[in-house]
Amino acid sequence: MALTSEQTANQTNGRGVTQDAYADTEFPTPYLGRSVRIVDKVVNVDMKQSPHPKNQRGELGKPLFNWYHNTVSKDPLTRVSAPNHFADRRHFLSTVINQAAKGAINPRRVEVSDPVAMTRHIKAVAHYMGADVVAVAKAHPSFLYAGGRYVQDGSAQDAYESNTPEDLTRRFPYILVATTAWDYDKLQAHRHFIGDAAYHVSQIKGNMILKALEGYIKELGYTALRGVAIPQAAGVASGVGELGRNGLLINKHFGARIHMPDPIMTDLPLVADEPVDIGVDDFCKICRKCANTCPTNSITFDDKVVQNGVEKYKINWLTCYKLRPYVHDHWSSCLTCATVCPYTKPNVWWRDLAVKALHTCPYVARPALVHALKWIDDRFWGVARNHRVRWLDYDSGVKPGEHACTVSGCTASHAGQEQEVTGDFGFYAPLKENTNRFVKR
């Protein structure tokens, strides 16, 4: 769930496992579906101990610190849409939105007599604003960060920062999760600026939608807190998806190609959704495509482990993170594990049919079904993704480091771009076998 510090993990890994870690409290252990299980007390983690804030403080070494603070992307669209690699911060919409002043709560509160109708309404509002997935989680203290608020490139101070997670859960019993999906076709060019476009543009759009949703809840006369809850925890609890081996939430319509942005904790009367079972647990036990193709071997081939009281697959976030400064000229977000995930497909009927089959299949028969579906995925989509993708003047068929104009009909003269590009093969740097020299494990 949360990207916890190693120190926090070690505090809890040695404990005995109980069936109901919160049995004696007013907050019983939440059921999170089959992919994640809370088996022990969860220590609330300060978000400031997660990768980005640690890197901002220079705790991950000079190359990463320098990459985070002092690099400007070569790609104009990345300079507009990706955090930290802009030439001018004013071009990055998320900064504009996240650093804006907080609005006041409307004193003329809209009374909610029917939480079911309000839940339907707030979901319709989020979809109307452009969200692809919306769900409501029942809050639990283990879903919350310890310490102050955290919003990337912004601030989220509020009057409740001194409250304990238990107090916050009593006062604000619901977490609203709303998110956007990445464009499927562009995502096929993972480890490329085209894939970055899929990721980052939907990310800034999602940030805008959440900010608007936060403002609307305040206009209804209720509180909306940001930077409080762990998105993945709220995501599995609300049925946005199940947690995969790759550490990503896998949604029944979009697979792993969804963001998990900062959710909204609120006292708006709502009805919580339930976790879903779309067979991710059964699939991840067998598939391992993400672990096989991860360029830094950051995804485990082993079984789940208990990390800070939560049983789940544990990825090595540090090796995942460490590659970034070395590939800065070619891409900024890897996305390979999301792209190869067999659940990541266009949102069409045959995909829904496969998910429905997994959902309805008895547990004992699921391994056979998973083997069949994985064979189909390997046969038709490939064991690894290396399709050539062209969008605008981007072309993943051009080798990294080379330049060529492959735009049909372009008669403009481009100095030093005379190479011919043929074939239907995409180049995605770096090759997996070459990453060991960058990332020491």
Partner 1 sequence: MSSVARKWPWSKKNVHGDDPYWDFFINTPPADLTNTVTELIRNAPAGNIFPTKADIHTPEITSQHVKEMARYFGAEWTGIAKLERHHTDQPDSYPFAVLCAVQAEYNPRVSPGIGGQVPVQNGLFITFVLSAWIRELGFRAHVESPLEAEALAARAGIGRLEAEGRLVTLQFGDKVYVADAICTDLPLIADG
Residue 359 found at the interface with partner 1 (CB under 8 A): no
- Residue 116 Cβ vs partner 1, minimum distance, rounded to whole Å: 11
Stretch that binds partner 1, among 62-70, 96-104, 188-196, 310-318 (CB under 8 A): 96-104
Nearest Cα to 427, choosing from 394, 387, 391, 383?
Answer: 387
CA distance 31 to 45: 20
Q: Which residues pair with 313 in a beta bridge?
A: none
Nearer to partner 1, 24 or 88 (CB): 88
Contact between 182 and 202 under an 8 Å Cβ cutoff? The reply is: yes
Residue 130 found at the interface with partner 1 (CB under 8 A): yes
Residue 17 found at the interface with partner 1 (CB under 8 A): no
Q: Which residues pair with 305 in a beta bridge?
A: 312
Contact between 258 and 179 under an 8 Å Cβ cutoff? The reply is: yes
Alpha-carbon dihedral 343, 344, 349, 355, rounded to 10 degrees:
10
- Residue 218 Cβ vs partner 1, minimum distance, rounded to whole Å: 5
- Contact with partner 1 (CB under 8 A) among 8, 169, 180, 333: 180
Residue 153 found at the interface with partner 1 (CB under 8 A): no
CA distance 233 to 237: 6
Nearer to partner 1, 93 or 384 (CB): 93
The dihedral through the CA atoms of 187, 188, 190, 194 has a sign that is negative
* Backbone φ, ψ for residue 37 (5° rounding): -140, 130
CA distance 297 to 319: 8
Question: What is residue 131's three-state secondary structure?
Answer: coil
Residue 204 found at the interface with partner 1 (CB under 8 A): yes
- Contact with partner 1 (CB under 8 A) among 41, 48, 127, 288: 127
Stretch that binds partner 1, among 17-25, 63-71, 108-116, 361-369 (CB under 8 A): 108-116
Phi-psi region of 247 (alpha: psi -120 to 50; beta: other; left: phi over 0): left
Binding mask 416-435 for partner 1 (x = CB under 8 A): -x------------------
Stretch that binds partner 1, among 55-63, 79-87, 289-297, 305-313 (CB under 8 A): 79-87
Binding mask 23-62 for partner 1 (x = CB under 8 A): ----------------------------------------
Q: Which two tokens stand for residue 392?
A: 């605008």
- Contact with partner 1 (CB under 8 A) among 211, 245, 314, 330: 211
Residues 6+ apart with CB under 8 A from 151: 98, 226, 227, 262
- Residue 207 Cβ vs partner 1, minimum distance, rounded to whole Å: 10
Burial class from Cβ neighbours inside 10 Å (0-12, 13-18, 19+) for residue 367 reads: middle
Question: What is residue 43's three-state secondary structure?
Answer: coil
Contact between 316 and 295 under an 8 Å Cβ cutoff? The reply is: no
Residue 128 found at the interface with partner 1 (CB under 8 A): yes
Residue 333 found at the interface with partner 1 (CB under 8 A): no
The alpha carbon of 252 is separated from its chain's Cα centroid by a whole number of angstroms, namely 15
- Residue 318 Cβ vs partner 1, minimum distance, rounded to whole Å: 31
- Contact with partner 1 (CB under 8 A) among 34, 41, 48, 121: 121
Residue 215 found at the interface with partner 1 (CB under 8 A): yes
Nearest Cα to 229, choosing from 139, 132, 123?
Answer: 139
Nearer to partner 1, 125 or 327 (CB): 125
Q: Which two tokens stand for residue 185?
A: 């076709």
Residue 65 found at the interface with partner 1 (CB under 8 A): no
Residue 410 found at the interface with partner 1 (CB under 8 A): yes
Stretch that binds partner 1, among 53-61, 129-137, 278-286, 365-373 (CB under 8 A): 129-137
Residue 109 found at the interface with partner 1 (CB under 8 A): no
Stretch that binds partner 1, among 59-67, 102-110, 147-155, 234-242 (CB under 8 A): 102-110
Q: Which residues pair with 232 in a beta bridge?
A: none
- Contact with partner 1 (CB under 8 A) among 87, 305, 376, 431: 87
CA distance 340 to 382: 9
Nearer to partner 1, 17 or 110 (CB): 110
Q: Which two tokens stand for residue 89?
A: 């911060």
Residue 266 found at the interface with partner 1 (CB under 8 A): no
Site residues (vs partner 1, CB under 8 A):
76-77, 79-81, 87-93, 96-97, 100-104, 106-108, 110, 114, 117-118, 120-121, 124-125, 127-132, 180-181, 183, 197, 201-202, 204-205, 208, 211-212, 214-216, 218-220, 391-393, 405, 407, 409-412, 414-415, 417
